[in-house]
Amino acid sequence: MLAAAAVAVAGSIAVPTAAQATAGKNPAGTVRQEAFAAAAAEFDVPEQVLLAVAYQESAWDAHAGGHSVGGGYGPMHLTDVTASMMAAGDAGAAGRADLAKTAADPALHTLQAAARLTGLAEQALRADAAANIRGGAALLASYQRAGGEELTADPGRWYAAVARYSQSPQRQGAQAFADRVFATLKKGAGRTTADGQRVTLAAEPQVSPDRGQLARLHLMSAAVAGTECPTTVECTFVPAAASNGQVSNRPANGIRIDSIVIHDTESSYASAISTFQNPGGGAAHYVMRASDGAVTQMVPLKDLAFHAGNYSTNMHSVGIEHEGYAAHGATWYTEAQYEATAELVTYLSGRFGIPLDRQHVIGHDNVVGPTSGTVSGMHWDPGPSWDWEHFMALVGAPVTGEHGIDDVGSVVTIAPGFAGNRQTVQVCPADDPTGATTACTRGEQPSNFVRLRSAPSDAAPLFGDQAVHPGAAGTDRINDWGGTAQAGQQFVVAEKSGDWTAIWFSGSKVWFHNPGGVNTIPADGVTVVKGGRTSADTPVKVYGSSYPDAAEYPTGLSPSTQAPLSMYTIPAGQAYVATAAAAPTDDYFKSSGTVVLGGKSMYTIQYNHRTALVYEGDVTATATPPTPTA
């Protein structure tokens, strides 16, 4: 999920002609429109070029003094990316000693360059939209002069300056950004921003961009000659910003690829591609279009993409973004998208040996935070409207078996269905970046989860995750993942009471309505881990990452650090399903290409709605026998 600078909010917009744009009075705020005009005049940048660049960067929004997920400030997306942003963002790289060096890339600090050009204070460029627009105009003018071009009124002759504004070191990325800017300029745009400013860009279809200027930038071409997709899907390659991932050589260098993470973009298809080309944020390996299932690959599979918010997960996974909004998922996740993604996932499974089950094909909402401070803020996409049971059937791995429930201590797979599993959810404006939700609204919708309660009763409080609702009950808010168990996830039965089933979940015993096992299928052939191996009173520590011990790093490499998640443990006597065999701890250093393997191994377990990690030596593992085949 993107909390992106360039959010697609235009929808069906009436684009003004040049005459209409200057006629009459606009009832909304005009201060920002005037700021663009003033900055363009001050720095001799064509106003329509400045507007089109800002539209691609931010849809003219100001971020209310804050920054985008890519560390960009204001309408011009002037960047100032810090190590802490990368630690808490899609890189999920908390505890890594090399973050300061990574964040020092000049491409991630255009805000400082704009401050030098304008003489404005950096804080003004961050917090004041008009100052920010002046900074962006100054940057564009400096790029135009550096390319040997005059500050001309002809927008077509600003192509190279616009391409350079993307900060992409690759020709394909810079060209794609510039082409989008000039496409916007040709067709025009108009919208009212989140803070009530009406901004318009008149359509100028006659503009002819001088693409030959691009050669003057002497950019590298992306190393990928083709795409890595099944032949059954339409697939193109557009490179993400280099800083939004790491060049590697998976799996040949020993970094296993063992999982696939399903996301949604919280934006349009084109906007997601644009956002991933902005340095300093995240990127997925693939972006899937809703209308027809077309695919854009943005990161080679051998490389790490910063998509999951957890560096250990990024190391071992492939990220697939889907055009759509989690709050409106059922209307965005089209059959074309499901089927194209199923074909892509099947291809990836065959190529890397990734098991086709819900323990290895997961949602972004199933990824644990790497540190205690990041757990509550991890993303919740693709949300409750992604039909997991339908999707797993499409990849040839349906959740099958007779519904029911076995004895206490057995394992069940959550299988509530989708269309008939209608759950009440509350959607609030903060959950819906489209702007369509203007007030918190509660309603029923088809869902992929069962609700979890603290006791076997509809009147009992919803379970509240310790990181989201410490000491309090959960809610039915659509983004409140803590009190839900999702289709395909597996848990150990802790107790049964009438029509209710209890499972071990997040260090607690939680209950869901399950008359006759209607929401579960007994599971077998899985590994169960139990706490209390060293002492009946010693809870097992739970982790969000999987790094080697400090002493296991070679001389010259700074060890990454990790600590137990402070709110989570496995109390003695509780049991959880391991999603795979215990795997060695590991780490990766892009600068030298070094992969560090630790001597200890960790299990990934289905701890709550999300997975978590425990050391193999801290638990007792027992494999349940598979059902004999005829």
**Active site (catalytic) residues:** 321
How far apart CA 401 and CA 392 sit, in angstroms, is: 14
In three state form, how does the secondary structure of 69-129 look?
A: CCCEECCCCEECCCHHHHHHCCCCCCCCCCHHHHHCCHHHCHHHHHHHHHCCCHHHHHHCH
How far apart CA 144 and CA 152 sit, in angstroms, is: 9
Q: Which two tokens stand for residue 340?
A: 């194209």
Measured N-to-C along each axis, helices 129-146 and 110-118 cross at an angle, to the nearest 10 degrees, of 90
- List the one residue out of 470, 384, 395 whose CA is nearest residue 424: 384
How far apart CA 288 and CA 277 sit, in angstroms, is: 16
In this structure, the dihedral spanned by the alpha carbons of residues 271, 275, 276 and 277, taken in order and rounded to 10 degrees, is 110
| Strands 520-523, 508-513: pairing kind | unpaired
Is the Cα dihedral 495, 497, 501, 506 positive or negative? negative
- List the one residue out of 260, 285, 468, 431 whose CA is nearest residue 350: 260
Burial class from Cβ neighbours inside 10 Å (0-12, 13-18, 19+) for residue 106 reads: exposed
SS3 42: helix
- List the one residue out of 541, 600, 537 whose CA is nearest residue 572: 537
Q: What are phi and psi of 457, to 5 degrees?
A: -160, 140
Bridge partner residues of 245 (DSSP) = 305
How far apart CA 250 and CA 294 sit, in angstroms, is: 25
Which residues are CB-contacts of 89 (< 8 A; sequence separation ≥ 6)?
69, 71, 281, 282, 306, 309
Query: Which residue has tokens 């391409």?
Result: 163
In three state form, how does the secondary structure of 262-325 look?
A: ECCCCECHHHHHHHHCCCCCCCCCEEECCCCCCEEECCCCCCEECCCCCHHHHHHEEEEEECEC
Query: Which residue has tokens 């606009």?
Result: 26
